[in-house]
């Protein structure tokens, strides 16, 4: 049983490069209950956003572009603001370490308000992250929840 527990524990953490490789960030995945508490239970919005963010695998580039544009056009400005706010809260919740070299890690706190930012205390405003970096962090936090849930469903009794 120990190997499966080790595998599950490893899947609860992730790391990625941000700011074009200048900074490594590390964090944990959201548990399913945390995801619901953070507002991810809004299945319609999540479905729309994940569909729009998921790359297509069609061979025809024009069809691919048309499909993506149609998905994006179905989103309202309110959808985007709601998702952006939720995404920022989640990122602040899961990111907890930073490193310049990917080896030596220091604690990091991301905050949702720029006025709370304090680099001397390792507090950084989530707004300095690019949207691409935010999307990557969000995906890592959410996809790992899905993987861990699938593993637990198949866990021997």
Query: Do 110 and 125 contact (CB within 8 A), yes or no?
Result: yes
Rounded distance between C-alpha atoms, residue 138 and residue 17, angstroms: 13
Query: Do 107 and 96 contact (CB within 8 A), yes or no?
Result: yes
Per the document, the length of the chain is: 157
Which tokens is 105 given? Answer: 């890690």
Predicted local confidence at residue 70, as pLDDT: 75
Place of tokens 């964090």: 27
Rounded distance between C-alpha atoms, residue 116 and residue 103, angstroms: 27
Residue stretches of the chain with pLDDT short of 50 = 41-42
Q: Note the pLDDT tens digit of each residue in 117-137.
A: 999 999 999 999 999 999 999
pTM summary value: 0.69
Predicted local confidence at residue 85, as pLDDT: 86
Rounded distance between C-alpha atoms, residue 99 and residue 11, angstroms: 20
Burial group, residue 27, by CB count within 10 angstroms (0-12, 13-18, 19+):
buried
List, in order, residues 6 or more apart from 142 with CB less than 8 Å away: 29, 30, 35, 40
Indicate the domain borders of the chain: 2-40+85-153
Q: Note the pLDDT tens digit of each residue in 145-157.
A: 555 556 556 655 5
Residue 6, number of CB atoms within 10 A of its CB: 10
Query: Do 18 and 25 contact (CB within 8 A), yes or no?
Result: yes
| Pairing, β 106-107 against β 95-99 | antiparallel
Distances (CA, A) of 65 to 49, 60, 62, 76, 132: 16, 9, 5, 19, 19
């Amino acid at each position: 049983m120990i190997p499966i527990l080790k595998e599950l524990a490893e899947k609860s953490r992730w790391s990625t490069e941000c700011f074009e490789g200048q900074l490594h960030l590390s964090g944990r995945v959201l548990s399913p209950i945390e995801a619901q508490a953070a507002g991810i239970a809004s299945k319609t919005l999540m479905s729309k956003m994940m569909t729009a963010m998921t790359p297509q695998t069609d061979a025809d580039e024009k069809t691919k572009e048309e499909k993506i544009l149609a998905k994006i056009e179905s989103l309202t400005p309110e959808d985007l603001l709601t998702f952006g706010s939720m995404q920022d809260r989640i990122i602040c919740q899961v990111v907890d370490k930073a490193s310049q070299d990917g080896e030596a890690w220091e604690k990091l706190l991301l905050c949702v308000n720029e006025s709370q930012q304090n680099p001397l205390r390792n507090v950084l405003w989530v707004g300095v992250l690019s949207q691409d970096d935010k999307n990557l962090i969000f995906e890592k936090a959410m996809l790992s929840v899905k993987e861990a849930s699938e593993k637990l469903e198949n866990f021997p009794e």
